[in-house]
Amino acid sequence: MKSPAVKKVLARLKNHAFLLILALLSAVVSISLTLFVPVLVGGAVDNIIGKGEVYFEAVAQILLWIAVAVVGLTICQWTMNYLVNVISFRLVRDLRRDVFRKFNSVPLQAIDSHPHGDLISRMINDVDAVGDGLTQLVLQLFSGLVTIIGTLIFMLFIDWRIALAVFLLTPLSLFLAAFIGKLTHRRFTEQQLLQGDISAYVEEHVGNQRLVKAFCYEQRAQQEFDAYNNTLFEVGFKAQFAGALANPSTRFVNAVVYAAVTILGAMTVISGGMTIGGLSCFLTYANQYTKPFNEVTGVLTQLQTGIAAAERVFAVLEWNDETPDTPNKLQNCSGEVEIEDISFAYSPDKPLIQHFSLHVSSGSHVAIVGPTGCGKTTLINLLMRFYEVNEGRILLDGVDIRELSRDALRRCYGMVLQESWLFSGTIMENLRYGNADASDDEIIAAAKAAHAHSFIRRMPQGYDTVISEGGGNLSQGQKQLLCIARAMLTHPRVLILDEATSSIDTLTEIRVQKAFAKMMKGRTSFVVAHRLSTIRESDVILVMKDGNIIEQGSHEELLRRHGFYYQLYHAQFEKQAF
């Protein structure tokens, strides 16, 4: 209970204070009625056997009161359980909303540095575990505390000596449960971590089944999964086994206490210090007094899982957000880009881009080429402010992009990535993702410009055809054409194409290049390309290597220099000829 995560969950319950108060009041009334019933039962027992004859009228009246108390008790317990569930579901809803909001507010580097399957597991499985465990614990602790205090008071009135014995012996079960809980916490934490790992593994392989089958990796993938699964089984079994020891251990201690109370009470009755009804009442209170200890230990496994899950959830919620945004916007973006002596590294010990400078006039067509890992895509990430530069600055229309709101900055850009992304929905919905206000006619025009209209018309429901998650019912080329149409729909001032035609056949690529040429007219464009034949008409070609521009110029100028670009071009030409 000393975990900071528990305190954070309790703090969140303040948001549901009204429902929580109603639940606690229902618990108080329910417990009060529960404590009142043994008094009535004891009175009934005394009226049956305590005075040598049965007083039927008194017994009948007591039974009526017991019936009223049981009905009230049932209503209050139902109300309490209902309110507890409402609080639990709202807590889960709010946590899940906040985690998703955090995913949208943290720097992209935080998402890239964690397995996506693990992040999904935190948002789904761990948040559910928090709702199932910690909320129940709060109300059980309150109910248990009221029950303990109430029963102790009643027992002291009946016989303070036996009550004192119960008070001194019963907490031994709680200390035993706390000891076991401390020993098992590490195992439950490890269990939640392994659940995140196995979720990440499954997410990767389900999403890339084509590659798994293409490389005949099924058997090895099964072996790797089995290794994860068996490890999770072993850790989970040990955690559950250790956690399951708590409840029977505490019940054994409480059974010994109950037996001791029975013997002491019987001796007191024999000596005339207590009636049989009083003993019956006292034994009921002794059982109720030990019940909260048993309930807490009974949910110890669930509690430890909830605490471990809460720690993982709040670890995400405590990630640092992106640097605060500004409200500044560009009124009329012309697309002039100035890069002044920037340096950047994903990790401090591995510098990537160092002292990089570049001036791009409005409307210029800039191509970026170079070997894999030279920093081409990284430069695009910096232009879009997906990552912040470590040194230097990037200006758009003379304004440092860090002084513009990210929303305003990115609305100046249209971007088509090498890896196409489509969500589960209609083709029309996927295209409108780029411009929510676009009309159907504008969407169709953009699809025609991207040469996607013809294949869309051949789909079963045309633009209303539902695309499966990730575009699984489309070819790679079709998916990329839709992404190009989506970018065209934004009418950007700066266009970024990161291998945008890599998955399109040659004939379609020629058509799309013509569409791009029309689209890029009057707009600044950055084109990352491996096929050098597609960038011959660029105003400037930047040749990057190890994070630096080593050559710069037009296609003809670079060929005449017989430098690194010359080698790349002829190596690719010879490869194509071969």
Residue 536 binned pLDDT confidence (cut-offs 50, 70, 90):
confident
Distances (CA, A) of 464 to 34, 106, 202, 459, 474: 61, 34, 31, 9, 14
Q: Which of 486, 350, 340 is nearest to 417 (CA)?
A: 486
Beta pairing partners, 344: 353
pLDDT tens digits along 385-420:
888 888 999 999 888 888 888 888 888 888 887 777
Q: What is the CA radius of gyration of the chain?
A: 35
Within 106-245, residue ranges assigned H as helices are 108-112, 116-121, 127-158, 160-169, 171-207, 209-214, 218-244
Q: Note the pLDDT of residue 578.
A: 39
Q: What is the mean pLDDT of residues 485-491?
A: 83
Q: 258-267, 272-281, 468-477, 481-490: which has the highest mean pLDDT?
A: 481-490
**Distance spanning both ends of the chain, measured CA to CA:** 69
Q: Note the pLDDT of residue 511.
A: 67
Place of tokens 């049981």: 70
From its phi and psi, is residue 470 left (phi > 0), alpha (psi between -120 and 50) or beta? Answer: left
CATH 1.20.1560.10 region(s) of the chain? 4-317
Place of tokens 């934490």: 189
Q: Note the pLDDT of residue 572.
A: 64
Beta pairing partners, 545: 548
Q: Which residues contact 96 (CB under 8 A, 6 or more apart)?
A: 123, 124, 127
Q: What is the mean pLDDT of residues 503-516?
A: 67
Residue 531 and residue 207: Cα distance in Å, rounded?
28
pLDDT exceeds cutoff 80 at 252: no
Q: Is residue 62 within 8 Å of residue 44, measured between CB atoms?
A: yes
Residue 67 and residue 69: Cα distance in Å, rounded?
5
The angle that helices 171-207 and 218-244 make with each other, rounded to 10 degrees, is 170
Residue 132 and residue 178: Cα distance in Å, rounded?
20
Q: What is the mean pLDDT of residues 122-133?
A: 84
pLDDT exceeds cutoff 70 at 55: no
Residue 12 and residue 123: Cα distance in Å, rounded?
17
Residue 31 and residue 249: Cα distance in Å, rounded?
25
User: Rounded mean pLDDT of the chain?
Assistant: 78
Residues of the chain with pLDDT > 90, as a percent, come to 1
pLDDT exceeds cutoff 70 at 215: no
pLDDT exceeds cutoff 60 at 46: yes
**Farthest CA pair distance, the chain:** 122
Higher pLDDT, 21 or 162: 21
Fold category of 4-317 in CATH? ABC transporter transmembrane region fold (1.20.1560)
pLDDT exceeds cutoff 70 at 145: yes
Residue 139 binned pLDDT confidence (cut-offs 50, 70, 90):
low
Q: Which of 565, 113, 107 is nearest to 374 (CA)?
A: 565
Q: What is the mean pLDDT of residues 503-527?
A: 73
Residue 484 and residue 497: Cα distance in Å, rounded?
9
Q: Note the pLDDT of residue 80.
A: 85
Tokens at 153, concatenated: 């008071």
Residue 540 binned pLDDT confidence (cut-offs 50, 70, 90):
confident
Residue 105 binned pLDDT confidence (cut-offs 50, 70, 90):
confident
pLDDT tens digits along 7-22:
888 888 888 888 888 9
Q: Note the pLDDT of residue 16.
A: 85
pLDDT tens digits along 329-372:
877 888 888 988 888 888 777 777 888 888 888 888 888 887 77
pLDDT exceeds cutoff 70 at 470: no
Q: Is residue 201 within 8 Å of residue 207, measured between CB atoms?
A: no
Strand, coil or helix: 547: coil
The angle that helices 246-270 and 171-207 make with each other, rounded to 10 degrees, is 160
CATH class for domain 337-577?
alpha beta
Beta pairing partners, 544: 549
Higher pLDDT, 506 or 559: 559
CATH 3.40.50.300 region(s) of the chain? 337-577
Q: Tell me which of 422-426, 459-463, 555-559 is least confident.
A: 422-426
Q: Note the pLDDT of residue 48.
A: 73
Beta pairing partners, 356: 342
Whole-prediction pTM: 0.69
Q: What is the mean pLDDT of residues 532-550?
A: 78
C-alpha 83, offset from chain centre: 25
pLDDT exceeds cutoff 60 at 102: yes
Tokens at 110, concatenated: 């935080």
